[in-house]
Amino acid sequence: MDISDKQFKRISDLIYDRAGIHLTDGKKNLVVGRLSKILQQMNFNSFDDYLDYVETDRSNQSLSIMINKLTTNHTYFWREKGHFDYFVDTVLPEIVKKKRERHENDLRIWCAGCSFGDEAYTLMMLIMEFFATEYPQWTAGLLATDISTDALSHAVQGLYPAERLRDLPQHLLRRYFKKTPDGSYQVSDQVRREIIFRRFNLMRDVFPFKKPFDVIFCRNVMIYFDKPTRDTLVRKFAHSTVKNGYLFIGHSESIGRNDETYRYVKPAVYQKN
Ligand SMILES: C[S@@+](CC[C@H](N)C(=O)[O-])C[C@H]1O[C@@H](n2cnc3c(N)ncnc32)[C@H](O)[C@@H]1O
């Protein structure tokens, strides 16, 4: 199906307004490719008819479907592995030491833009490994959010084809997954029940969390946003993070070394001032 410049602008304005995602002109073919099937299935003859429908659908369901189609959910276990080493060797010991000194036993971690759940499950396994037999004495559950309801429904199931787990250390695979008859792997219940998966749009003006997080992972998400959107989001993250808490972003992203809210620690890792 053909799309005019005006129709493409309507889509990119809508997706920018509702999801913060910046669709450049170069994404035109991708957008047509991803949305054409919906138009056919729903018997729309043009993008204008489809957009009129999306914009007036008060349930927001058709917008949600459109967002599901236009987000890029690529992810895999053990992605950017250096971050996990740093999390286990430096971040967790530092936070846990401080909490013990204050006689606290809760750990608050948010995986924002979790996609299919690979990153959130990896973090949860590492937290369990770190605490070992002491784990039950901690409140160390993890919040994992995404705007895509499709990605989240996969995440909740925790079922993955073997190739997604290629890079995961074998001992984690053995301990925290069960193999299904078709050769896929499912995350064990003990890990799945520790993660709360929720739909959450990072464009919300105000984040509703009652208590700030010790660590936020938001990796390979801001790459889809423009600079003003990234700057606003980083301020909201800072507001929702404890002093000296950590923000992990993707290695191809940056928040600027002079940001007043965070100081640079190492590539793609920042600490709240
Ligand atoms: C490429 S994935 C990153 C997954 C994982 N963090 C990683 O690094 O492998 C980007 C995710 O950001 C989500 N996303 C995009 N815009 C969002 C928004 N406004 N609010 C919440 N999530 C969003 C997408 O749905 C997608 O699942």
- CB 21 near ligand 1, within 6 Å: yes
CA angle 24, 26, 29 (to 5 degrees): 115
Is residue 56 domain-shared with residue 109, that is, in the same domain? Answer: no
- Whether residue 242 lies inside any domain: the answer is yes
Is residue 89 domain-shared with residue 62, that is, in the same domain? Answer: no
Pocket test for ligand 1, best of 146, 198, 237 (most atoms within 8 A of CB): 146
CATH number at residue 168: 3.40.50.150
Is residue 203 domain-shared with residue 172, that is, in the same domain? Answer: yes
Cα(204) to ligand 1 centroid in Å equals 14
Question: d(Cα 166, Cα 186) in Å, to the nearest integer?
Answer: 14
Q: Which of 70, 98, 124 is the last residue of a domain?
A: 70
CA-nearest of 200, 195, 201, 221 to 74 is 221
First to last CA, the chain: 51
Q: Which of 70, 104, 127 is the last residue of a domain?
A: 70
Is residue 31 domain-shared with residue 86, that is, in the same domain? Answer: no
Is residue 109 domain-shared with residue 145, that is, in the same domain? Answer: yes
- CB 19 near ligand 1, within 6 Å: yes
- Whether residue 34 lies inside any domain: the answer is yes
- CB 79 near ligand 1, within 6 Å: yes
Cα(26) to ligand 1 centroid in Å equals 20
Cα(98) to ligand 1 centroid in Å equals 31
Domain containing 224: what range?
81-272
CATH number at residue 28: 1.10.155.10
Is residue 86 domain-shared with residue 63, that is, in the same domain? Answer: no
pLDDT for 110 equals 98
pLDDT for 97 equals 97
- CB 20 near ligand 1, within 6 Å: yes
Query: pTM above the 0.85 mark?
Result: yes
- Whether residue 76 lies inside any domain: the answer is no
- Whether residue 260 lies inside any domain: the answer is yes
Is residue 106 domain-shared with residue 32, that is, in the same domain? Answer: no
Is residue 129 domain-shared with residue 198, that is, in the same domain? Answer: yes
pLDDT for 254 equals 87
The residue ranges of the chain whose pLDDT is under 50 are: none
- Whether residue 75 lies inside any domain: the answer is no
Is residue 51 domain-shared with residue 91, that is, in the same domain? Answer: no
- Whether residue 19 lies inside any domain: the answer is yes
Cα(115) to ligand 1 centroid in Å equals 6
- CB 232 near ligand 1, within 6 Å: no
Q: Is 146 a catalytic residue?
A: yes
Is residue 123 domain-shared with residue 252, that is, in the same domain? Answer: yes
Is residue 42 domain-shared with residue 101, that is, in the same domain? Answer: no
In the chain, the number of structural domains is 2
Give residue-wise pLDDT tens across range 186-240. Answer: 999 999 999 999 999 999 999 999 999 999 999 999 999 999 999 999 999 999 9
Catalytic residue among 108, 118, 146, 219: 146
- Whether residue 31 lies inside any domain: the answer is yes
- CB 224 near ligand 1, within 6 Å: yes
Is residue 244 domain-shared with residue 120, that is, in the same domain? Answer: yes
Q: Which of 70, 101, 121 is the last residue of a domain?
A: 70
